Structure 1
Amino acid sequence: MPAEEDISRLHCRLDELLVERGMTLTALADAVGVSLVNLSVLKNDRARAIRFSTLIALCDALDCQPGDLFAVDTHRTQKRPR
């Protein structure tokens, strides 16, 4: 079922993009106007959703596209326990 898709397969590449750009999470939080805690949740693949406005702000600050920020693990199909 598409609505029941296992979101744990979605990986946020925020760490890699920050390293590539020589930027800290704190600097990104300041640039985007999102709390450090919320960015940390996203970075550690614990976010369950993201606002389009936040996604656009992240892409602007990191000079990237949404597809650069997220990847789907095609090899992991096991669902995480609830």
Structure 2
Amino acid sequence: MSTVKLPFTEKTLCYLEEHIPELADAAFKQAYWQALAVGSSVLEVENGAIVEVFPDGTSQFVKQIDPATPVTPGQKRFAAL
């Protein structure tokens, strides 16, 4: 099997990078529904709590969590030392 390497221009790479969030969102949704379809449960965050969602639509509280940390796109965050 041979692979063909395409020359990526800066414009092409920028275009592809701009679409990473929507591709990741689509992949996440597909994995979520696929897990439920095969009978597995999934974890979600609802109102500051982690809940386990089952294929029949029921859910069970797992754990309370801290509020999300808002981050502006492009902002750099550093851990406190």
TM-score relative to the length of structure 2: 0.27
Which structure has more relative contact order (CA 8 Å, sep 6+)? It is: 1
TM-score relative to the length of structure 1: 0.27
Relative to its length, the structure with more helix (as a share) is 1
Q: Considering only CA atoms, is the larger Rg found in Structure 1 or Structure 2?
A: 2
Relative to its length, the structure with more strand (as a share) is 2
